[in-house]
Structure 1
């Protein structure tokens, strides 16, 4: 049986950090794949100050069984003090892709 796919989204402060963290999570079999997007302009308030920063979004693909550990590991590897790490279930997924994804991940 294939575990339900889960998507995890976060942003990094540099392209190099995004690539490094993605490689670690894939090598450790916590995620099956990472999609890196073009830099994004992020606007937010941090410690009472308005900030405008270029950040590097990444969408990680994993399974329900690996998601919690992948998110914990992602937080531990992340350089931000309070990284936006957001996940959601991929309710509709091609079965062939879902099986491939599941086959790439650490089995508990």
Structure 2
């Protein structure tokens, strides 16, 4: 059975930081690819206050087996105290693309 693919989302407050997170994860083979979207407006509570910030989203493609290593790397590389790191399973996808993700992250 093939490894379950995941899309992992993180955000950052600067486009250059988003590019660095994307490139670093791909170069380390923790993600097969990364896509950057933004800016987006984020509204959230932090330290008792409602905050509004402009952020860039980074969507990283990896496998379930590789998630923990990617999360650890993101926690180390990210400059937020509590970065958003959310993994969503890919429930369907083309077999060739899913195999590519696995191969690029050291799976197959």
Same fold judged by TM-score > 0.5?
A: yes
| Bin of the TM-score, shorter chain as denominator length | over 0.9
Aligned-residue CA RMSD in angstroms?
1.2
- Alignment match, 2:71: 71
- What are the Cα deviations for residues 41-74 of structure 1, in whole angstroms up to 9, with x where unaligned? 0111211222110000111000111111101111
The yes-or-no answer on 1:20 pairing with 2:20 is yes
The yes-or-no answer on 1:106 pairing with 2:106 is yes
Q: Output aligned runs, 1:22-101, within 5 Å.
A: 22-101=22-101
TM superposition shift of 1:16: 0.5
- Aligned residues, how many? 107
**When the two structures are superposed, what TM-score results if normalisation uses the length of structure 1?**
0.92
CA distance in structure 1 between the partners assigned to 2:28 and 2:7 by the alignment: 17
Give ranges in structure 1 of 5+ residues lacking alignment.
Answer: none
